[in-house]
Amino acid sequence: MDWTTLLPRISSALDPAGFLVLVDVNAFGDAPWLGELRRVIAEYSTNRDYQSFDLIHELISQGLFHVVGSQRTNPQPFSQTVDDYVESFHARNGFSRQRMQNNAATSFDNTVRCLVQPYAIGSLIHTNVDATVIWGRPQVMQ
């Protein structure tokens, strides 16, 4: 997103006492397969030049956002089927079915399925997920 355009628009739409709330979800939780999953993601992602970044830090360093407060949630149990877990990756940009070749998507699915299946109880995998909720004011650049 073009944050330098979006955040001033959000600022002008906010009530003077309102806040912009950003939620950073730790979707992978405490999954014991996370280390190996990161390797698989790097191997199969169609975003070859992807660089991880901290959005809040970037917005603050660019003078676009002033944090008023934040709160991390307690970890919450989350369960889903192995098949739903595998399919969830295709909702992400680097793994969308429109961007992946069929053979790469099938290979990725099989690799992730084999990775998490040993941790499944029946057809379900269980993790704990949490999120950080950050609220503040978008800054209008002068």
Set out the domains of the chain in order of their start, with CATH numbers.
3-138 (3.40.50.150)
Mean pLDDT, the chain, rounded, equals 92
DSSP secondary structure string for all residues of 76-118? EEEEEEHHHHHHHGGGSGGG-TTTS-HHHHHHHHHHHHHHHGG
Q: Is the pLDDT of residue 36 over 90?
A: yes
Encode pLDDT of 40-84 as tens digits.
Answer: 999 999 998 877 788 899 999 999 999 999 999 999 999 999 999
Average pLDDT on 19-42 reads 91
pLDDT of 138 reads 94
pLDDT of 139 reads 87
